[in-house]
Amino acid sequence: MEAKKLKTNQKTLNGKVVVPGDKSISHRAVMFGSIASGVTTIEHFLPGEDCLSTISCFKNLGVDIERDGTKVTVYGNGLSGLKEPNAVLDVGNSGTTIRLLMGILSGQPFHSVLIGDDSIAKRPMTRVTLPLAQMGARISGRNKAEFTPLSLSGGDLKAIEYKLPVASAQVKSAILLAGLQADGVTTVIEPEKTRDHTERMIQMFGGEVKTDGNRVSVCGGQQLAGTHVRVPGDISSAAFFLVAGAIVPNGSIELTNVGLNPTRTGIIDVLKQMGANMVIEEEQTEATEPIGTIKIQSSTLKGTVISGDLIPRLIDEIPVIALLATQAEGKTVIKDAAELKVKETNRIDTVVNELRKLGANIEATPDGMVIHGNNSTLKGGTVSSHGDHRIGMMLAVAALISDGDVYLENSDAVAVSYPNFFDDLHSLF
């Protein structure tokens, strides 16, 4: 496909964006709807490629699911209603789909085979296959079940207490989903708190979960009941406009319906720390998740340090935060973020290499990056998303402050989490 010519030299950015549905919550709403009894209706679902992969996998498991744009209806038959698939389950680019699905399949007395795209084939899976095997699932795959294709036969699980070696909501969720089907109480201990959408959703579907500091426990054998889920807007998608509004001259953007779950709002803390001109109005709770409106304007920014337990609260926003830091005064250090190496791409390398092509002063470190901000415009060049949606969107925002032509290769990747991204961005010109 031809490289996309991006908008550059943008002198204003004004208007309102209704942020599309949260990716993590959209996946979980379909999954919980599928394993609950009765009908689940989902509103403001994210029709991104990743979440469509989740729908297609559950259809292959015998669940009746209807979608009309952002409205989804799931006819759940309970945990014992899933059927052995007669085709391979293809998760596409979606790490959340494959890891959480393995948790569900671990409790199911049948055989499944899971595959994904070239990026999924490189992503580590023993972080989930090891604990699930300890619970009793039989999983095999390339390189001792580290990589896809993976094959899994489940059933007869026993509860475990498991200390996560890395802070990962996907691993925590996979173990909790298996725990709902195990004999006894399953406990996950997190090194740092990660997004808690799974825990909230268990409660929304009438189940029980106990959280005590970084320990999360579920009891096996619970029955879940279908419900209505209105998915809040994705703060990880809002992040591109938050940064665009702060770094483009004469920027003034209002983002409505943004999910403000405290396990996800690290980017707001960083924007505040860096001095951004921003107002947040928290509103009601949607899907037992807080939401609100954020207004942001062009800002004078200063460098900062991003590390420790802040990292899981903004892990997906680091590419666009790196861009933000190029426009700050002084140095920004991002550390304790080695997990970036095993995302859709190695996001330490892709962020550093692509931003350097546009003239940014940024270096990779073993667990993050250092950005020397100089508050200056970037230059033109040809960059690539490398098939990573968040790298593609970050580069489209970078182009806005570039004074030469910028071409983006593989721009289609944005459809993984934000199919209307370019239209929403253009509405602000």
**Residues that bind ligand S3P in the complex, under the rule CB under 6 A:** 24, 96, 168-170, 173, 195, 315-316, 339
CA dist., res. 204 & res. 228, Å (int) = 9
Q: Which is nearer to ligand S3P, 316 or 424 (CB)?
A: 316
Rounded to a whole number of angstroms, the minimum distance from the CB of residue 8 to ligand S3P is 29
- Distance between CA atoms of residues 367 and 348, nearest Å: 8
CA distances from 132 to 86, 103, 257, 412 (A): 23, 7, 36, 34
CB of 220 to ligand S3P, least distance (A): 21
Q: How far is the CB of 41 from ligand S3P (least distance, A)?
A: 21
Annotated active-site residue in 90, 196, 234, 316: 316
Residue 58 has which token pair? 């559950």
Whether 88 and 18 have beta carbons less than 8 Å apart is answered as: no
User: Could you tell me whether strands 13-18 and 251-259 are parallel, antiparallel, or unpaired per DSSP bridges?
Assistant: parallel
Return the C-alpha torsion angle 372, 401, 357, 388, nearest 10: 100
CB of 368 to ligand S3P, least distance (A): 15
Greatest alpha-carbon span in the chain: 61
Residue closer to ligand S3P by CB (options 298, 418) is 418
Quick one: 230 exposed, middle or buried, by C-beta within 10 A (0-12, 13-18, 19+)? middle
Element (H, E) at 298: none
Residue 186 Cβ vs ligand S3P, minimum distance, rounded to whole Å: 17
Residue type, 167: A
Q: Is 352 helix (H, G, I), strand (E, B) or coil?
A: helix
Residue whose CB is less far from ligand S3P, 50 or 424: 50
Q: Which residues contact 58 (CB under 8 A, 6 or more apart)?
A: 30, 31, 34, 65, 74
Tell me whether residue 316 is one of the annotated catalytic residues: yes
Q: Show the DSSP H helices in 327-374 as ranges.
A: 347-357
Residue indicated by tokens 């791409």: 345
Q: Return the number of the residue (56 or 361) whose C-beta is nearest ligand S3P.
A: 56
Name which of 4 and 172 has its Cβ closer to ligand S3P: 172
For ligand S3P, the closer of residues 93 and 402 by Cβ is 93
Q: And the tokens for 310?
A: 């802040």
CB atoms within 10 A of CB 60: 18
Chain centroid to Cα 165, Å, comes to: 20
Rounded to the nearest whole angstrom, what is the least distance from the CB of residue 217 to ligand S3P in the complex? 18
Which residues form the catalytic set?
316
